[in-house]
Amino acid sequence: MDFTFSEDQIAFRDTMHSFFAKELPVETIRKLWENEAADASSIRADLAGKIAEQGLFALSVPEDFGGLGLSDVDWVLMTQELGYYGVTDDVVDTAYIAVGILAGLPDDQPVKAEWLGRIAEGGVRVAVGHPANRLIAHADRADLLLLWHNDEVHAVPAASVQVSVNSSVDLGRRLCRVNWTPSPATRIADAALGKSLWADALNRGALAAAGQMLGLAQRMVDISIAYTAERKQFGKPIGSFQAVKHHLANVAVKSEFSRPVLERAAYALAEGQSQAGEFVSHAKLACGEAAWLASRSGIQVHGAMGYTWEVDLQIFMKRAWALDAAWGDRAVHKNRIADGYLRADALLGAGNTFN
């Protein structure tokens, strides 16, 4: 069995890494965090257009609707890059989670063809209102909202909702309360179909959050390494001290042990395996622990100043904290694992590992 990514997958990951390194430096993120800045809107619009040119919005849109038709396995590499560079939720919510919901609709549903095509072109944003999230990310900037109501799926135009923005520890993450009125005109999937679509959306949302947290953990390690190479005590860089090395090495170990868990979850989801939900929850927990350890260790090696506004670490640290509670907190995912593995007919043991 081949567990490696293809050359095309690696090449696309590397391309996006180079793209974000050029187009989204920390200075740009800081401008986007300052929502009142005069040029923030133009920066967002320009960045969105360039991301669309790279093909990211078309990644998992089916080929019949103008996309590339790729899978969750391809996204598991992309979400790590999105996390590493602190890309806001509206990209993954539109290009991955919303696409998954729309692609699962019947072919005769007009909303499916219209919006999948528009997403592939990269000119729109779709916000997803799942019951796992009390607030909806970037709903105030969405062109369309996919909303839950008694397991039904409703496609609601932005003009038909009332939105109020809540504050977040991650200033690049606009969390919104949405008031709207369900109606037959907005319903695009009944409760029977909607239940499975929302279950898939939860898995994709949690998987995306896990991938981003793993990318954030790596970014926090890189920032901390750079700082410890420059900061000196007793005439030597503090990174040469063994106690400091241990902190960052522990994060590297935690991250590397969570990486195969994340990739297994993506494969299980792409293949429709029965235990995909448990695997996704395991990935969310493992990557969340790596990100939290990276946050704590980063603050410690910075001498606690890592939490201050002037230090770049705090940007990625706060984003990791926010994503840890998104798409189900730790209690939700621990319970999903317990329900999956403690039931009488659970598929356990070596004989079921690769079945």
Q: For residue 355, what pLDDT is reported?
A: 58
Which amino acid would we find at residue 170? D
Kindly state whether residue 298 falls inside one of the protein's structural domains. yes
Q: For residue 342, what pLDDT is reported?
A: 80
Residue 31 near residue 40 (C-beta atoms within 8 A): yes
The two tokens of residue 145 are 């909202």
Which amino acid would we find at residue 74? D
Q: For residue 113, what pLDDT is reported?
A: 92
Residue 300 near residue 224 (C-beta atoms within 8 A): no
Kindly state whether residue 30 falls inside one of the protein's structural domains. no
State the residue for tokens 């996390």.
83
Kindly state whether residue 138 falls inside one of the protein's structural domains. no
CA 175 – CA 120 distance, rounded (Å): 25
Q: For residue 151, what pLDDT is reported?
A: 96
CA 178 – CA 79 distance, rounded (Å): 26
CA 355 – CA 347 distance, rounded (Å): 10
Q: For residue 35, what pLDDT is reported?
A: 62
Q: For residue 348, what pLDDT is reported?
A: 72
Which structural domain range is residue 318 located in?
A: 193-352
pLDDT in tens, 120-151: 998 899 999 999 999 999 999 999 999 999 99
3-state secondary structure of 234: coil
Strand partners, 148: 153
Residue 123 near residue 142 (C-beta atoms within 8 A): no
CA 93 – CA 267 distance, rounded (Å): 20
Residue 87 near residue 54 (C-beta atoms within 8 A): no
Q: How far is CA 53 from the centre of its chain?
A: 20
3-state secondary structure of 189: strand
| pLDDT over 90, % of the chain | 72
Indicate the helix (H) or strand (E) that contains 246: helix 242-270
Kindly state whether residue 141 falls inside one of the protein's structural domains. no
CA 12 – CA 210 distance, rounded (Å): 20
CA 156 – CA 281 distance, rounded (Å): 29
Please count the structural domains in the chain.
Answer: 1
CA 288 – CA 293 distance, rounded (Å): 9
Q: For residue 44, what pLDDT is reported?
A: 82
What value does the CA radius of gyration of the chain take, rounded to a whole number of Å? 20
Residue 291 near residue 324 (C-beta atoms within 8 A): yes
Q: For residue 1, what pLDDT is reported?
A: 53
Q: For residue 343, what pLDDT is reported?
A: 77
CA 6 – CA 71 distance, rounded (Å): 13
Kindly state whether residue 289 falls inside one of the protein's structural domains. yes
Prediction pTM value: 0.92
Kindly state whether residue 336 falls inside one of the protein's structural domains. yes
The two tokens of residue 15 are 């391309």
Low-confidence stretches of the chain (pLDDT < 70) are 1-2, 35-40, 230-233, 235, 237-241, 350, 352-355
Kindly state whether residue 81 falls inside one of the protein's structural domains. no
Q: What CATH code is carried by the domain that includes residue 219?
A: 1.20.140.10
CA 85 – CA 165 distance, rounded (Å): 24
Q: In what order do the strands lie in the sheet with 152-157?
A: 126-129, 144-149, 152-157, 187-189
Q: For residue 237, what pLDDT is reported?
A: 67
For 9-19, letters b (16+ CB in 10 Å) and e give beebbeebbeb
Kindly state whether residue 197 falls inside one of the protein's structural domains. yes
Q: Is 123 left (phi over 0), alpha (psi -120 to 50) or beta?
A: alpha
